[in-house]
Amino acid sequence: MPAQPEAEEVDNEDQEEAQEEEEIEPQRVRILPGSTDTAASFEFVDEGHTVGNALRYIIMKNPDVEFCAYSIPHPSEPKMNLRIQTYDGLAVDALKKGLADLQDICDVVTDEFTTKKDQFNAEHGIVR
């Protein structure tokens, strides 16, 4: 008889894992009302100055972008607003390009850091 509860426990664990896999992460970026194709405001949930300033800097490097700025509406709310205005292209495309460019830069920094760390560890006999 004890075998049956163990089987039920395994089934319950499988069901819980399946439910966890089915949970969809909530959308963390949305377009705020009043936006147009070339001028849009985006709200990022659970982001702050670190991503806001880096993303603003990268997006402003895009020659199609006329204006880009970010703000934190209130320190007690985990939100960051980003405003993008373009000359002709879509503001959403400028955001996508900015996010992709920022990811590429982060990848380069990570690769360079890892290379230098491994080189340092090899030179100093540090095994990890």
- Residue 31 to residue 52: CA distance in whole angstroms: 15
Kindly state the tokens that stand for 2: 């004890």
Give the 3-state secondary structure percentages of the chain, helix then strand then coil, rounded to 5: 50, 20, 30
The residues near 66 (Cβ < 8 Å, ≥ 6 apart) are 85, 86, 87
For the ranges 14-28, 56-70, 112-126, which has the lowest average pLDDT?
14-28
Convert the pLDDT of each residue in 44-67 to its tens digit: 999 999 999 999 999 999 999 999
pLDDT at 14: 63
Fold of 25-123: Gyrase A; domain 2 (3.30.1360)
Strands 39-45 and 65-71: unpaired
- Residue 84 to residue 111: CA distance in whole angstroms: 30
Convert the pLDDT of each residue in 30-48 to its tens digit: 999 999 999 999 999 999 9
